[in-house]
Amino acid sequence: MSVRVGLMGFGRIGRNVFRAMYGRDDIEIVAINELADIHSMEYLLRFDSLRGSFEEPIRVLDDSLYSRGRQIPVFHHKEPGQIPWFDFGVDVVVEATGKYRSRTDLQKHLDQGADRVILSTPPTDDIDHLHICGVTPDQIERSHRIISVGSSTANATALMLKVLDDAFGVEEGSFTSVHAYTSDQSLTDVPTQGDLRRSRAAMQNIVPQTTWTDEAVEELFPHLKGKFKGIKLNVPVAEVSCSDLTVQMKRPVKASEVNEVFRSASQTILKGVLDFTDQPIVSSDMNGNPASCLFDSLATLVTDDVLLKVIGWYEQGGGISNRIVDLISQVGPQSTTSGDRRTS
């Protein structure tokens, strides 16, 4: 039995999730909610400035997309509580709007018949579970109905910390996310409320920003509470970011042994989630890589035996979308059939 998925939002993450799911028999998208008109949705799915053209056949008929011979109804509701997930036997809703991040808003998807909600961004308050593939336990409890996959930056950074902490022990640290510009930045200087730095032109500036990742790290690694901080620098690059991680180790290390630990993990326990390179790559070489983190072994630096700097590349749209699909496959469908749910 396939997992029946409802997509809430068909922006960058929603379309990337659609692409990542395409062709799989264990997962099917059965409904989409998106404010944009359906012809714009189909156009932006087929032609993507960053990921290239989507060559698979997609067509529009009335208020539905047709893919692989299946009809996918499209709704244009403004609020989570208005979408009839129950009518389509939805097992999992992927909340990909970036707008609805509180437990109260996410609960509305469950109230409308979904069994679980996967949030593609950090939550604004307490939810059931933060899931970082390769860092948190693989087992998803039945009580975990509202789940966040965090952020692309958190996935990459926490993954490197996990490898280092398990192998050598991490005493404290900090990181800088050198991050591609985001869709909520402006191309020209415009007034904004809140952080004045966000009012500056994205393509002409390096813009310092706060980041949620240090909060996530403290939750995932309790022994680093109060010992780990970070900052984000949004730079004039459209795709691919990197996490520049500096940590104080609990014991002396050498760059060669650090690199070997990452190489081994990428080929075994973290295969598919962590990637490894010993080539002189640049950011664009990460385009299309589905891993959460590509460890750059040529950038590994050790000072005074215990101060370590490492770099991990990540594609902020692609990696997180693939982890969402992995998680959907992991949680599986509800134990009852969709027909049973619609009549219960």
**Boundary of a domain, candidates 112, 127, 142:** 127
Whether 65 and 183 map to the same domain: the answer is: no
What are 191's two structure tokens?
């007034």
Domain for residue 134, yes or no? Answer: no
- Does residue 303 share a domain with residue 262? yes
Domain count for the chain: 2
31 shares its domain with 76? yes
In this structure, are 193 and 266 located in the same domain? yes
CATH number at residue 196: 3.30.360.10
Say if residues 260 and 241 touch (Cβ distance below 8 Å): no
Structural domain includes residue 330: no
Q: How far apart are the first and last CA of the chain?
A: 19
Displacement of CA 147 from its chain's centroid (Å): 12
The reply to whether 116 and 156 lie within a common domain is: no
**139 inside domain:** no
Q: Distance between CA atoms of 35 and 241, rounded to whole angstroms?
A: 28
Digits of tens for pLDDT over the chain (344 positions)?
Answer: 899 999 999 999 999 999 999 989 999 999 999 999 999 999 999 999 998 999 899 999 999 999 988 999 999 999 999 999 999 999 999 999 999 999 999 999 999 999 999 999 999 999 999 999 999 998 899 999 999 999 999 999 999 999 999 999 999 999 999 999 998 899 999 999 889 999 999 999 999 999 999 999 999 999 999 999 999 999 999 999 999 999 999 999 999 999 999 999 999 999 999 999 999 999 999 999 999 999 999 999 999 999 999 999 999 888 999 999 999 999 988 754 444 444 33
Same domain assignment for residues 34 and 112: yes
Domain that residue 167 falls in:
152-316
In which element (H, E) is residue 226 found? Answer: none
Same domain, 63 and 163: no
Bridging pattern class, strands 116-119 and 170-180: unpaired
Together in a domain, 157 and 96: no
Q: Are 250 and 174 in contact (CB under 8 A)?
A: no
pTM for this one? 0.93
- Read off the CATH number of the domain in which 80 is found: 3.40.50.720
Write the CA distances from 250 to 68, 176, 243, 247, 259, integer angstroms: 53, 21, 21, 10, 17
Residue 144 lies in a domain: no
| DSSP structure string for 180-197 | E--TTS-SS----SS-GG
Q: Give the whole-angstrom CA distance, residue 269 versus residue 101.
A: 31
The reply to whether 277 and 156 lie within a common domain is yes
Name the DSSP letter for residue 25: S
User: 191, exposed or middle or buried, with CB in 10 Å at 0-12, 13-18, 19+?
Assistant: exposed
CB 111 within 8 A of CB 90: no
Tell me, yes or no, whether 25 and 112 share the same domain: yes
